[in-house]
Structure 1
Amino acid sequence: MRSLRPLLFAALLLSGCATASDPWVEVNGQRYTVEIADDDAERARGLMFREEMADDRGMLFIHDRQEPLAYWMKNTKIPLDILYFDNARKLVAKQVDVPPCTLGDNCPNYPSGASARYVLELNAGQAARLKLAEGAELRLSPAIPPAK
């Protein structure tokens, strides 16, 4: 049994390191573990068909260039806050408390109204809880690759 202790300790350390390397973002001092959507297929699927999302989770969409963007809630079952950030990762627009939509291609768009490169989707109410205002900075973990 004594010879297993070093192995168990090493396994615990390694499992902790894997958790520490999960991608995260931070805004107004609040950290969220995020899934990354950085290609067309991932961005198109987004958070569709999800029944729920933990309050400390979100999805970060990384676009190839900064430009006006519009998101929709097609097949999205949970209400969201949609936060738009520019190349400098400053908040330029937000759509809050966006309701789920089951109308397929007839779901409305929620535009950025300004050029954006990063979009962070969080559970509805998070932007209000954090008192997010234009210019809020989005911090990215080292696990998130820099935009091309």
Structure 2
Amino acid sequence: MYLSTAASRTAASRSWRSHVRTAVLASVLPFTLATASAQDGPQLNLPRVELNAGMHRIDAQVAQAPQERQTGLMHRQNMPLHEGMLFVFEQPATQCFWMKNTLLPLSTAFVADDGTIVNLADMQPQTLDSHCSTKPVRYVLEMNQGWFAHKDIKAGFKLSGAPFKR
């Protein structure tokens, strides 16, 4: 659209900015509200899946929906030794995690579709340090810090369970 006068260009510019501002707010507001509600308290009632790391059984909560993944293990005061949380993403990508509002020290396994651990990371409570997968993955398993090391589980180890069967 071509505008011939400065006044009409200014009015059109204001109108355009108003539409852009409205569109930005409309797209950001749901995320902001989801962020606020996602951090209200710990998630204790997510579905569970049994995983195995060799002879070791893992009872993992499954965080699959975006809000469940966003909240993760935030606000948890404790977690039994054989429990963890499995984050499931729609497709493989570089996954990065931090520990905002997370009270427990955790070890994280970035896991390929076939259950192979790509890399591990130890994460300190309530920090904003980013810990990322070294390759694209769909699964991330968080356990109490040291769980993998105590069981001598390293990158290349293969986990088993329903999510990894194809």
TM-score (norm 2): 0.67
Query: 131, 147, 163: which is aligned to 1:110?
Result: 131
CA deviation vs aligned residue, 1:58-93 (integer Å, no higher than 9, x gap): 000111111111011110000000000111111101
Q: 4+ runs of 1 displaced by more than 6 Å?
A: none
Match of 1:93 among 105, 119, 137: 119
Structure 2 unmatched ranges of 5 or more: 1-46
Q: Secondary structure at the match of 2:70?
A: helix
Larger helix percent: 2
- Which structure has more relative contact order (CA 8 Å, sep 6+)? It is 1
Residue of structure 2 equivalent to 1:131:
152
The residue identity in structure 2 corresponding to 1:136 is: F
Q: In terms of Rg, which structure is larger?
A: 2
Which residue identity lines up with residue 73 of structure 1 in the other structure? Answer: M
**Distance (whole Å) between structure 2 residues aligned to residue 51 and residue 24 of structure 1:** 22
Q: How does 1:1-148 map to 2 (within 5 A)?
A: 23-96=49-122, 98-101=123-126, 107-141=128-162
Percent identity reads 28
The alignment partner of 1:23 has SS state of strand
RMSD: 2.0
How many aligned residue pairs are there?
120
Q: In the TM superposition, what is the alpha-carbon distance from 1:146 to its structure 2 partner?
A: 7.0
TM (normalized to structure 1)?
Answer: 0.75
User: What amino acid is the match of 1:76?
Assistant: T
